[in-house]
Amino acid sequence: MIYNLTKEELENYFLERNDKKFRAEQIFKWLYQKKVKTYEEMTDIKKETLKELEEELPIYRVELVSVERDKDVNKYLFRLKDGEHIEAVLMRHDYGNSICVSSQIGCNMGCKFCESGRRKKVRNLTSGEIVTQVLQVEEDINERITHVVIMGIGEPFDNYDEVIKFCRIINDPKGLAIGSRHITISTCGIIPKIREFSDLNLQINLAISLHAPNDELRSEIMPINKAYPLKDLIKEIKKYVEKTNRRVTFEYILLKNVNDKEQHAKELAKLLKGINCYVNLIPYNETENIQYERSNMFQIMKFYDILKKENVNVTIRKEFGSKISAACGQLRSKKEEK
Ligand code: SAH
């Protein structure tokens, strides 16, 4: 389908057919700027070409099933061609509209606190299935999306190629023209892919789901840590920062009596010492199926203060979706368990 192709791939498609390279740009404009949904509307391209395109690269978007709306957050449920469901969340910030997209159906990372991971990976999403989540949400709100975070269902670096293609498509000036610095990939820490990503030297933001300051605890709540332990992960991140000159974000969910004690905050500060980074503390979104609880605000503030005192750049994530089951994977679970 057409939304799977970067502009460069589409240029090659036309060149292989002895057509003009600039067709790709024409089509990108129709799809991403005028946002048409049929080839017929592309009036500056020959009928024959359009017919071929229709057969070889159909225009297909993920299908919008339902929207839950709250003051500054919308939660979207989409159905895919094979009947599977995925979700995306729109958050309205003072700086713009930000969307959180899914990258896989299910997830194999097995993080103990995460709703999405309760279902094993069924398959990767294609770049076009990720791109059209953005298009559908833009159409729903009739406003431009300015920021994208890849933090929905799935592990983006377990679907590396499609996720990078997705980034290239939305970043293209003739595509959705979303600036690299407005795109964030969040990973649980798949080291070889972090290395590959840093070699691309893009300006895209990298966020690491850390959630624990030592191997023992991290392996307990995030099994991926057994394959890629903290020491190696931190070493890789240091290389990334050195190479790209970009600041990384560490996400840290606060789980009551698990990783939220004073000693954890001190250990975390020590672990991150000297790294150009900032820490985003995330109040845990409780879900019915998982026993972890959210730390209380007092504990969260105490954790925050310790990091501050140790000169760590730290923020507490603004809360959006707790009322409308916006914890990663909750909406899909509700739908499929019905
Ligand atoms: N797999 C990627 C991206 C998807 S998860 C990653 O691990 O980063 C996006 C973020 O949401 C991760 O930091 C994840 O740990 C966090 N998360 C998962 N379940 C959550 C919950 N119930 N409440 C708050 N954050 C959660």
Domain at 332, CATH number:
3.20.20.70
Residues 81, 182, single domain; the answer is yes
Q: Ligand 1 pocket check: which of 159, 205, 224, 251 to mutate, most ligand atoms within 8 Å of Cβ?
A: 251
Taking the C-alpha atoms of residue 50 and residue 46, their distance in angstroms, rounded to an integer, is: 6
Residues 50, 72, single domain; the answer is no
The residue whose CA has the least distance to atom 5 of ligand 1 is: 151
Residues 111, 222, single domain; the answer is yes
The residue whose CA has the least distance to atom 9 of ligand 1 is: 151
Binned at pLDDT 50, 70 and 90, residue 33 comes out as very high
Question: Residue 49 maps to which CATH number?
Answer: 1.10.150.530
- The residue out of 11, 31, 56 marking a domain boundary is 56
- For the annotated catalytic residues, the residue numbers are 87, 328
Residues 204, 159, single domain; the answer is yes
Q: Which atom of ligand 1 is nearest to the CA of 152?
A: 4
Q: Check whether 118 has a pLDDT greater than 90.
A: no
Q: Determine the distance separating the centroid of ligand 1 and the alpha carbon of 262, expressed in angstroms.
A: 22
Q: Which atom of ligand 1 is nearest to the CA of 329?
A: 19
Q: Check whether 333 has a pLDDT greater than 80.
A: no
Domain count, the chain: 2
Does residue 155 line the site of ligand 1, with CB under 6 A? yes
Binned at pLDDT 50, 70 and 90, residue 338 comes out as low
Per-residue pLDDT, averaged over 302-311, amounts to 97
Which pLDDT belongs to residue 88?
Answer: 97
Binned at pLDDT 50, 70 and 90, residue 117 comes out as confident
Binned at pLDDT 50, 70 and 90, residue 14 comes out as very high
Residues 83, 217, single domain; the answer is yes
Residues 262, 225, single domain; the answer is yes
Residues 44, 125, single domain; the answer is no
Q: Which atom of ligand 1 is nearest to the CA of 292?
A: 22
Residues 202, 81, single domain; the answer is yes
Q: Determine the distance separating the centroid of ligand 1 and the alpha carbon of 211, expressed in angstroms.
A: 9
Residues 167, 43, single domain; the answer is no
Residues 71, 161, single domain; the answer is yes
The whole domain housing 302 covers: 63-336
The CA R_g of the chain, rounded to the nearest whole Å, is: 21
- The residue out of 29, 56, 83 marking a domain boundary is 56
Residues 157, 243, single domain; the answer is yes
Residues 224, 156, single domain; the answer is yes
Q: Determine the distance separating the centroid of ligand 1 and the alpha carbon of 90, expressed in angstroms.
A: 16
Per-residue pLDDT, averaged over 23-46, amounts to 97
